[in-house]
Amino acid sequence: MMLATRDDITKYIPQRHPIVMVHELLEADDDHAVTRLTIEPDNVFVTKERFAEPGLVENIAQTAAMHVGYQCASRNIPIPIGYIAAVKDLKIHSLPKQNTSITTSVKVTNKVLDVTVVEGRVEQEGALLCSCEMRIFAKINSKTQ
């Protein structure tokens, strides 16, 4: 069962076109989420028919944002704005081609005050393309309180 479609995504994340790097929310619970992105030729991170490294990192960050946004919305509490505080152990094994889809998962491994640590993985057809640890600082937007 899909939890959110391309039409719903911007309810849960602050990014807007052309920087939206998640199209579907496939799974979400308290400590993990899985999204899918179809890499279209006009994507801002496509270079030489490949989805470039910054796109993979942004995709992981938006999957983490989608996780938080969906969880907050389901509990009817304000959705915080997140900022990447650090990226650690970034490993990029392969860049996916345009006109293909990637699946991204994040797992929360630690949370202290306003900082959440997630392990992110980008896969395509079972092959690991990218992984990293990401520290995300979250702050409630004072305009939404």
pTM: 0.94
pLDDT recorded at residue 19:
94
Specify whether the CB–CB gap between 9 and 33 falls below 8 A: no
Q: What is the DSSP letter of 12?
A: T
Specify whether the CB–CB gap between 106 and 118 falls below 8 A: yes
pLDDT recorded at residue 37:
98
Domains of the chain, each with CATH number or no CATH: 9-140 (3.10.129.10)
pLDDT recorded at residue 118:
97
Specify whether the CB–CB gap between 33 and 67 falls below 8 A: yes
pLDDT recorded at residue 145:
43
Parallel, antiparallel, or unpaired for β 101-112 and 50-51? unpaired
pLDDT recorded at residue 144:
43
Q: ∠ CA 125-88-27 to the nearest 5 degrees?
A: 40
**For 88-134, what is each residue's pLDDT tens digit?**
999 999 999 999 999 999 999 999 988 999 999 999 999 999 999 99
Only one residue has tokens 């004072």, namely 142
**For 9-59, what is each residue's pLDDT tens digit?**
999 999 999 999 999 999 999 999 999 999 999 999 999 999 999 999 999
Specify whether the CB–CB gap between 85 and 42 falls below 8 A: no
